[in-house]
Structure 1
Amino acid sequence: MDNKRHNLKVVSKKIIIVNPFGIGDVVFSTPVIENLKIAYPDSFIGYLCNARTAPILQTNPKIDKVFIYEKDDWRKLWKESKFKCIVDFIKFLSEIKKCKFDLAVDLSLGRHYSFFLWLFGVGKRYGFNYHNRGLFLTDKIDIEGYQDKHVIEYYLDLLHFMNLNPTAIEPKVYIDTAHSTWAEDFLKSKGINSDDYLIGVVPGGGVSWGKAVDIRRWAKEKFTQLADKIIGNFPVKMVIFGDKFELELCSSIVSGMKNKAVMIVGQTDLLQFVALLSKCN
């Protein structure tokens, strides 16, 4: 970590967080949001993310503006019309620039995001010097990866450049009333009431795991055995969650069980899924 520190708290009121990664990484960044809002309750916080993760940020009352950067969409547009891609990209960058952010927490591990932040005149740019990619960061932490502690702890380390001692360390996703009510009604339609003790099982890892999923994921037979053991020994109800790409996996687990479980696979969007998770004990 650089020795350069600031003796006084940064007085910045406009902060942008950059995290182009998946849902888990964005959820892990929520303690950063919470601590920034605790330290600077009147601050304006923007967040740059991809389209898949945007919904869980758009319901967060601590976030003032969400910027969606979808790399595949830009590549597609570039192939269709280079001129339109350039014009639209300039408009996108202008939307960020006009907010006049003066502090950035860059979680991207790359150099091009901090380059644009530097170009926009963002005075303080905190991030990770991963593989010497932190050229355009004003303050950085040298890392080779997230091996030594939880990702949340790495993210929170960046707040020390602002002389902040994090107090909120748990990830937090906000569910609005409409989604919460929807989840209650949906579960009721599946025979699950609010006074039931509900356990959720998520055997898949999502599409982002790619080809290595079978290596990284627990065997489906283990999930079947565990689910049966829980239901057989405790007065609970169980739901098996997954997206549409995991239908075969989840169906295999449920069909192999001796006890009954409700399968909710490919039936929800991200916020609906989170709302259902919030109903689990």
Structure 2
Amino acid sequence: MNYDIIRLLDKYMGVPLCFLFSIIDSLFPKGKKREIKNILIIRFWGIGSIILSSPTLKTIRENYPQAKIYFLTMKRNEGVYDGSNLMDEIIYYNFKNYFNVFKDFFKVIFYIRKKKIDLAIDLEHFSKFSSIVTYLSGAWERAGFFTKGQHREGVYTIKVPFSDYHHVVENFLNIPLYIGLKSNSGNLVKLPVTDKEKIYINQLLEKNKVGKKDLIVGININSSDFAIERRWPKEKYVELADKILKKHPNAKIFFIGAKFDKEFVQSTIDMIRDHSK
């Protein structure tokens, strides 16, 4: 999936639109406080960050047990929270191609607005795209990060400072605190695992001659193509695997990733095999 069009929209239209929406918002007061019945939580990018948002999702669920909670993310993240009770519905933005980008965008916006959102929470801290979606959701209250130099905070009614010096879990948990909620400890919520997934993993381990008592090391060497520059060079992973095997000679190392990561992962594994000869 290519996100170049979203990057361009974010770069050239994001700030002007956020500024425009902030002016419109200042001209029309939001009115009296509403009961929070429908909540939208947005996190588009990064499966890792989506998992790290689980303590915040749990906090929202615990503070609003009767509310309907909707989680909006990209289609490519499908499956992460399947079966979870942290939200009532997961809405996927399925960006297919350049020609349908606006059609898909407004399709999602219209669907969200039908839900009559009372509180929208934007867990992105750089993207103006998510800020625009947050504003267009029609939410009465909108919470999001104030990130230096991004010029996106004007669309939010609750502005939360984002700190580069704190872990992302702590940053996420600051949002419910600024809303006025009591946050939990920050421990990650265990994701539900289906029987089908358990069978698949057991078969995979058996196929690779991995016993139940073996030390299993899982390494994700990939980075989303939305920010590929975050990815470590292959040579670093070869060095890391070498150090792990020197300390734990019987360890079983598994490299994980999505289908589109397969070529990069396989080439790294080949480098490790050549290095160990």
TM-score category, normalised to shorter length? 0.7 to 0.9
Give the match for residue 134 of structure 1: 153
Can you list the C-alpha shifts for 1:259-279, whole angstroms capped at 9, x where unaligned?
xxxxxxxxxxxxxxxxxxxxx
Equivalent position amino acid for 2:203 in 1 = D
Give the match for residue 180 of structure 1: 198
Alignment of 1:54-65 (within 5 A): 54-65=78-89
Give the match for residue 108 of structure 1: 124
Give the match for residue 49 of structure 2: 25
* TM-score, scaled relative to structure 1: 0.73
Alignment of 1:1-281 (within 5 A): 11-71=35-95, 73=96, 75-78=98-101, 85-86=102-103, 88-109=104-125, 110-130=127-147, 131-143=150-162, 146-172=163-189, 173-193=191-211, 195-202=212-219, 204-208=221-225, 210-211=228-229, 213-214=231-232, 219-232=236-249, 236-242=250-256, 243-244=261-262, 245-257=264-276
Give the secondary-structure state (helix, strand or coil) at the position aligned to 2:266: helix
Contact between 2:210 and 2:252, CA under 8 Å: does it hold in 1?
no
Give the secondary-structure state (helix, strand or coil) at the position aligned to 1:126: strand
Equivalent position amino acid for 1:181 in 2 = I
Give the match for residue 276 of structure 1: none
Equivalent position amino acid for 2:146 in 1 = N
Range with greater deviation from structure 2 (180-189 or 115-124): 115-124
- Which whole-Å CA distance do the structure 2 matches of 1:36 and 1:223 have between them? 38
- Which whole-Å CA distance do the structure 2 matches of 1:237 and 1:207 have between them? 27
Q: CA deviation at 1:154?
A: 0.6
Equivalent position amino acid for 1:25 in 2 = S
- Which whole-Å CA distance do the structure 2 matches of 1:169 and 1:218 have between them? 34
Contact between 1:199 and 1:239, CA under 8 Å: does it hold in 2?
yes
- Which whole-Å CA distance do the structure 1 matches of 2:245 and 2:112 have between them? 51
Give the secondary-structure state (helix, strand or coil) at the position aligned to 2:91: strand
Can you list the C-alpha shifts for 1:89-128, whole angstroms capped at 9, x where unaligned?
4332221111112111112334454444444431111111
Name stretches of at least 5 consecutive residues in structure 2 with no aligned partner.
Answer: 1-33
Contact between 2:109 and 2:136, CA under 8 Å: does it hold in 1?
no
Percent pairwise identity: 21
* TM-score, scaled relative to structure 2: 0.74
Can you list the C-alpha shifts for 1:193-234, whole angstroms capped at 9, x where unaligned?
3x323322416233545245345x7713422322322333xx
RMSD: 2.7
- What is the total number of aligned residue pairs between the two structures? 235
Give the match for residue 272 of structure 1: none
- Which whole-Å CA distance do the structure 1 matches of 2:247 and 2:218 have between them? 11
- Which whole-Å CA distance do the structure 1 matches of 2:139 and 2:237 have between them? 48
Name stretches of at least 5 consecutive residues in structure 1 with no aligned partner.
Answer: 1-9, 79-84, 259-281
Give the match for residue 10 of structure 2: none
Query: Structure 1 residues 181 and 212 mapped into 2: Cα distance closer, same or farther (>3 Å)?
Result: closer
